[in-house]
Structure 1
């Protein structure tokens, strides 16, 4: 019995979940799983071949690695075992990811619903203590919203205090955890119980004399990675977990509404189907009892899905193009016409949302991966907004990105800054005023209508810094966080936006807010 929060972690980040899920669906969907060692070994091989699991000599030939990955996707409510057939099925959330919906939105929904007890937490080999009745990630968001804690948590505080002492969502428990975190900040390990390692025993094989807390800090690190994937919070430069500035309102709205716990965790199929409801549904009304004959067409379709989702995580796909069809044909060996027809049927609008997790991460990586961030912005303006766009940064004394609107006959210039708190320093201001705007402000095919900065986040003085450039150059501009850039991508097609709307957004002469979108 585990007397602390626990999440399975074949990988500590959720980025590869869509690929693991598609690999799993290819190998095991609609198949019986329990006791089928050959199926487990085949999935292990497939995960290794896809680069999702490290290749290495296995200690045994029982398929244990595959079962760990199966537990991972099950723990997030993406699959379940059907009681009547013992076959693996996708939940609605799993289906949504396979259909090319934004995995960030789907998994954010799943992470926020994640609870103890669950079908997974009560399963054999896990068995989290029954004293826990809590939605751990909602609880963490509440702590991160608390001024008494300075609106931050550290991984160490989560490891040594939160995951051991936060057992329910009642007010007295919450206040006790807040008080214990403050004690820990003042007194460190000396405030922990004398019998800490007896009360919170590590699971078999997770203890270490050299690093006695590692089993807890490993869990804490994974939990922080999961909450970062939701794009609601991020570790800052001091390694403190904080809610992102432009997500504070969303978090507040999440916490205002307290949904009921999902009941009957002991009934696996019932619980998983309820847990696995995606944001577009309120109930799972599917009848999954009809058996399917696995045909060559179904197998081909599954392989095409798998290849497409892998590609969609690497770069934004706004539509099905001949080059994409050729690439997937080469990868799968399936007839070009079959690939094209399948992609047009399953993903007629592409799957831009799948790339947004990677784009979000790029905005916080600093200068090392700055070029990737710039190139990704070029691709988003092309695929999501239908602009012509060029990566002009390498030319020198030029902005990173130049965008052209043939429909509205204007150009815009953008600089990407991969920082969590970007400020326009004097050097950057001078470049924008005297180089970038001067170069593109005249003598171009179309007039320059805006300049802008896209970054992970911005410093407190960003609006006044931007305004000084506007006043000196008489060119309008804006700064936009990566979170709001992602929201703009989501809104563009669904809300019928045009290039005129893009120009309006990037000419507000301040930081773009969610309300502007």
Structure 2
């Protein structure tokens, strides 16, 4: 019996889910899964071939690794089994049909609940009747807390938050505040033993849940804590105020999974499973193509399906070029950037660990998505050049991007001088372009509250318009651009607002 919150965690982040789901479809869709060791092993081998799971990681020859990864997909409501046959839920189908995985998995994470078909299978204690991720968001909105540490989630929330009553909520808040004042002495000596838990296990669960919540793009992570960015606060308040009803359980597992696995574009699952297409060799090939494409598109933004993309996918999947091209064009008529953007967002909170990757990814996005000539200048060993230089021959200007991989960036005096005197005044030292400067912008995980004043100081000192934009809002801008493209003149206006760019500035 798990007397605390529990999530399975073969992968602690959700970014690989689309690729894992495609591998699962290739080996298990339309077949029996329960007690079918051959399918479990086949899925495990498929995961190893995609690089999702390390080769030689198998503990035995029973396919237990495959079962663990399948359990994670099941826990997120992406598949179910009925009459000894595996089917995808609507959420699983949406991912496999090329919909952006972020809104799909965001909904699944938030609706994750105890009890459920998954929690009963891993024997989570029946005292828990709660949507854990909604509960965490409610705590983060509380002015008394504002942030939660991994240890607070592990030692207090996962054990004591058993339902969503006001009484339980207030007890959890009080316990966290006591712990901040008095430390571990608030716990009884047999506290963990009484709940059949170890601190290491609870910390692992807390870390995984923080990662899942981070994937929803509703929170930021910093030094072992999570919090809600200012620009996301209204959205989170609205989500918490309008929580969906609990899904009834116990019911038959397939009934539960179909209710839980409804994607953002449907109200309920009304499919007749008898009409589901039988799994043919073409269906298997299609899943192989999509699996290869998920991997490819997580590494670079795909603006459109072209010969380069088709050739790469054919080489990886071993499928017929014409069939590959038709599948990709049918599934991704407008390209695919969702998987890449979720990875890009992660980079903005990694500090120096992924700073160069963050700069290179920004360069790719502004070139491949927005159509600038984009040059990566960062990490040249000189403080006289910004991270990225943009050139727009279309509108006759150049622009400067400075990436900051922080959750709350503040423009220090040194950074102010660098932008004004090195990057803007001396642009000819690193750029041969003769166009005037159209704007400068900072891209960061988040900003301090007084960032507008700091940006305005640079605008006044340089005479050049500028801005700052969070990665979350840049992603919104990109997604909006994919639907209704912005011209370089419009982008110049947005990035030249002389303050932080907010959501209301973005939508056409």
Which category of TM-score, normalised to the shorter sequence, fits these structures? over 0.9
- Selected match of 2:222 from 236, 245, 263: 236
CA-CA distance at 1:179 after TM superposition: 1.1
Partners of 1:461 and 1:2 in 2: CA distance: 45
**8 Å Cα contact 1:79-1:90 kept in structure 2:** yes
Q: Give the corresponding residue for 1:355.
A: 340
Q: Give the corresponding residue for 2:133.
A: 137
Q: Secondary structure at the match of 1:55?
A: coil
**8 Å Cα contact 1:100-1:309 kept in structure 2:** no
Q: What pairs with 1:204-215 in structure 2 (closer than 5 Å)?
A: 212-215=198-201
1:434 aligns with 2:421: yes
TM-score computed with the length of structure 1 as normaliser? 0.92
Q: What pairs with 1:412-427 in structure 2 (closer than 5 Å)?
A: 412-427=399-414
For residues 458 and 253 of structure 1, do their structure 2 counterparts lie closer, same or farther at Cα, with a shift above 3 Å needed?
same
1:298 aligns with 2:283: yes
Q: Secondary structure at the match of 2:220?
A: strand
CA-CA distance at 1:59 after TM superposition: 3.9
1:225 aligns with 2:211: yes
1:259 aligns with 2:244: yes
1:400 aligns with 2:387: yes
CA-CA distance at 1:460 after TM superposition: 3.3
**8 Å Cα contact 2:25-2:284 kept in structure 1:** no
**8 Å Cα contact 2:115-2:249 kept in structure 1:** no
Give the number of aligned pairs.
Answer: 502
Q: What pairs with 1:114-129 in structure 2 (closer than 5 Å)?
A: 114-123=112-121, 126-129=122-125
Structure 1 runs not aligned, ≥5 long = 203-211
**8 Å Cα contact 2:29-2:279 kept in structure 1:** no
Q: Give the corresponding residue for 1:461.
A: 450
Partners of 2:132 and 2:421 in 1: CA distance: 51
Q: Give the corresponding residue for 1:56.
A: 56
Partners of 1:266 and 1:127 in 2: CA distance: 16
**8 Å Cα contact 1:466-1:510 kept in structure 2:** yes
CA-CA distance at 1:28 after TM superposition: 0.9
Partners of 1:409 and 1:337 in 2: CA distance: 41
Q: Give the corresponding residue for 1:208.
A: none
> Which deviates the most, 394-403 or 44-53?
394-403
Q: Give the corresponding residue for 1:188.
A: 183
**8 Å Cα contact 1:466-1:478 kept in structure 2:** yes
CA-CA distance at 1:404 after TM superposition: 2.9
1:409 aligns with 2:405: no
CA-CA distance at 1:419 after TM superposition: 1.6
**8 Å Cα contact 1:19-1:306 kept in structure 2:** yes
Partners of 2:276 and 2:134 in 1: CA distance: 38
Q: Give the corresponding residue for 1:209.
A: none
TM-score computed with the length of structure 2 as normaliser? 0.94
Q: What pairs with 1:102-117 in structure 2 (closer than 5 Å)?
A: 102-117=100-115
Q: What pairs with 1:9-28 in structure 2 (closer than 5 Å)?
A: 9-28=9-28
Q: What pairs with 1:34-45 in structure 2 (closer than 5 Å)?
A: 34-45=34-45
Structure 2 runs not aligned, ≥5 long = none
After the TM superposition, list the runs of 4 or more consecutive aligned residues in structure 1 that deviate by more than 6 angstroms: none
CA-CA distance at 1:440 after TM superposition: 4.1
Partners of 1:276 and 1:473 in 2: CA distance: 53
1:70 aligns with 2:55: no
Q: Give the corresponding residue for 1:339.
A: 324
Partners of 1:155 and 1:427 in 2: CA distance: 33
Q: Secondary structure at the match of 1:148?
A: coil
Q: Give the corresponding residue for 2:167.
A: 172
CA-CA distance at 1:200 after TM superposition: 0.7
Partner deviation per Cα, 1:57-116 (whole Å, 9 max, x = no partner): 6443221111111110000011111x2x32111111112222232222221111111111
CA-CA distance at 1:498 after TM superposition: 2.9
Partners of 1:285 and 1:329 in 2: CA distance: 35
Partners of 2:485 and 2:49 in 1: CA distance: 41
- Selected match of 1:370 from 336, 352, 355: 355
CA-CA distance at 1:328 after TM superposition: 1.1
Partners of 1:191 and 1:472 in 2: CA distance: 53
Q: Secondary structure at the match of 1:411?
A: strand
